[in-house]
Amino acid sequence: MSKTVSEQLLEILVEAGVSQVFGVIGDALNAFAQAIHRHEAVEWIGVRHEGNGSYAAFAQAELSGELAVCAGTVGPGALHLINGLYNAKRERCPVIAVTGQVPLAQIGTNFHQEVDLEKTYADVCAYQAIIRSAEEAPRLILRAIKIALSERTVCRIELPADIAEAPAAGDQFIHPIIPSQARLVPSDDQVQAFADLVSDHEKITILGGAGCRECREQVLTLANKLKAPITHSLRACDIFDHDCPHVAGLTGLIGNPSGYHAVMNCDLLIMLGTDFPYTQFLPQGTKTIQVDTRFPNIGNRIAVNLGIHADVGQTLDRLLPLIKPRSSNRFHEKICENFASWRQAMADAGSPSRDHEPLHPQIFASMIDKHASDDAIFVVDTGTATVWASRHISFHSGRRMIGSFNHGSMAVGLPAALGAQLRYPDREVWAVVGDGAFTMAMQDWLTVANRKLPIKMLVLHNNSLAFVKLEMEVAGIVPESDVLGVDVPDLSQYSRWCGADGIRVQHARDVEAAIVQAKNSDRPFLIDAVVSQGELMMPPSIGIGQATGMAESKIKQTMMALSGDKEQWNNVKEEIATYFDSSD
């Protein structure tokens, strides 16, 4: 019996290194799913929601740098994939979405479940392999895979139901996929201009991004030679961890004062492999050098004096021999001293001796940092979970941190942890998520439980969308529970209902024991951490507009509380109690 187009597609994907496909089955994918069932080298990972499947695929591609695959059928299933695919696109991860389509004869007739997916996917995909015949299938499939891998992006393969089960053709076009080894190299003139600018300036700061992942040591060597502090983007937390020499931490809204002042008070800013988007946290009028492999990124956020369209590692390899080592300078010393002081303040904030209830969320993050393995994978959800994780967990050694750092979507944590644990079964996987994010994706905790994956899930349970609350207050708006409230039950009980383990933690004395229990468990383990809504997340610098908006919101809340609004009265009381406990 000759193989089908679905079997041919699967063989090509397996040859490209794919071993798992995440999705929800449907009639247009039946032939593809059957092909997977018959193939020993690949596994169908059925999820409860296609969006969780695309987040799981994102996680595998982000962590491995290799191709990952998700699937959805016809209109509804394919539409569910999109949010996770946008996350993969924004984080630059090679992901293929296989989408079923109605039979050829029905396309364009407004058939049941039919959607014009080519239009719908036009923005998220760099390329779409719209298969309309068996003869063209292998060439289009290979093109989609090569584009996804070479551009580190999202591509889609559309497979109509009748083509999926048709006899395969075009085998003569199938060939092994050869990974690109190309590197963008700067010109000698550009490297010399880089060295000349450096020699003319004393207070130099390096702003590093995800583009430094393969050249971390060269960046550290440059910082040491120049005695320049390194600040970094959120995605680079696991490249330039808190324990690295010269590192001053994050800048931006959730950054720290050291990182902020290192960028804003330097006289030469060196941006390496980052398209840092927050212009209010970049200096205006400061001499700037930017190195990036993506030419449109250069000068995208700030005017640059020297732009180098090249690989960061290749550039630094050529630059370092031209740089003379410097002795320490007061700018560098002060930034590093301030960062050390900030780290001590964070350690104090995460101490279990701070036993105010509801608990401070920092305690949980600090305890995870203490006990997690040196090669642990951390999946951090959007919102306050990102704040506490980035401030209180050091992503040293072989630790990795992933999330929705550019797309900024809630509910990445649980499904990305699923994908990470399946890809790396021998590594610890910790997910740090808010209660709003967890409940948005909680159906696939069943998938985790059924597969007995030892994911350690920390849910910060404050019955609120806490980061949105902060944004509203900064804008001078009074947060209301009917907008921000998340009425969440005992999630440890939910976890046990799913067949996983779970524990609810309400007292500081119980935090460390719960973290250790989760670490040592060989089953899915959920910690329902009851934490305060009133925890302040101070930005590295507060502008007049932010201070005015916050004051306006707090005055309104206080007036409403004094007028008999019990909800606002409880909010004000909790915030005051949390603040004074933080000030001890």
- Return the HEC string of 530-556: EECCCCCCCCCCCCHHHHHHHHHHHHH
Closest by alpha carbon to 96, among 43, 136, 137, 149?
149
Sheet of strand 377-380: strand arrangement = 400-403, 377-380, 429-434, 456-461, 525-530, 501-505
Task: Calculate ∠ Cα 379-387-63, nearest 5°.
Answer: 25
Asked whether the CA dihedral 28, 34, 35, 41 is positive or negative, the reply is positive
Reading the chain (584 residues) residue by residue, the pLDDT tens digits are 689 999 999 999 999 999 999 999 999 999 999 999 999 999 999 999 999 999 999 999 999 999 999 999 999 999 999 999 999 999 999 999 999 999 999 999 999 999 999 999 999 999 999 999 999 999 999 999 999 999 999 999 999 999 999 999 999 999 999 888 899 999 999 999 999 999 999 999 999 999 999 999 999 999 999 999 999 999 999 999 999 999 999 999 899 999 999 999 999 999 999 999 999 999 999 999 999 999 999 999 999 999 999 999 999 999 999 999 999 899 999 999 999 999 999 999 999 999 999 999 999 999 999 999 999 999 999 999 999 999 999 999 999 999 999 999 999 999 999 999 999 999 999 999 999 999 999 999 999 999 999 999 999 999 987 777 676 776 777 777 666 667 899 999 999 999 999 999 999 999 999 999 999 999 999 999 999 988 878 777 666 666 676 667 667 767 776 777 777 667 666 767 666 675 44
Give CA–CA dist 239/579, Å, rounded.
Answer: 33
Rounded Cα–Cα distance for residues 550 and 377 (Å): 36
Q: Which CATH number fits domain 188-339: 3.30.70.20, 3.40.50.1220, 3.10.690.10, 2.20.25.10?
A: 3.40.50.1220
**Interatomic CA distance for residues 219 and 440, integer angstroms:** 39
Cα separation, 447 vs 559, in Å, equals 47
211/43 Cα distance (integer angstroms): 32
User: Same CATH topology for 188-339 and 350-582?
Assistant: yes
Q: Hey, where are the domains in the chain?
A: 5-173, 188-339, 350-582
Tokens matching residue 169: 């053709």
Amino acid, single-letter form, for residue 392: H
Say whether the peptide bond before residue 358 is cis (omega within 30 degrees of 0): yes
Architecture of domain 350-582: 3-Layer(aba) Sandwich (3.40)
| pLDDT value, residue 151 | 97
Instruction: Report the sign of the C-alpha dihedral through residues 232, 233, 236, 238, in that order.
Output: positive
Whole-model pTM: value is: 0.93
CA distance 71 to 274: 31
The answer to whether domain 5-173 has CATH 3.30.1330.60 is: no
Whole-angstrom Cα Rg for the chain: 25
- Residue 79 buriedness (CB in 10 A; 0-12 / 13-18 / 19+): middle
Beta strand pairing status for 400-403 and 456-461? unpaired
Max Cα–Cα distance, the chain, nearest Å: 79
Nearest to 218 by CA among 336, 315, 333, 306: 315
Task: Report the alpha-carbon distance of residue 153 to residue 550 in Å, rounded.
Answer: 39
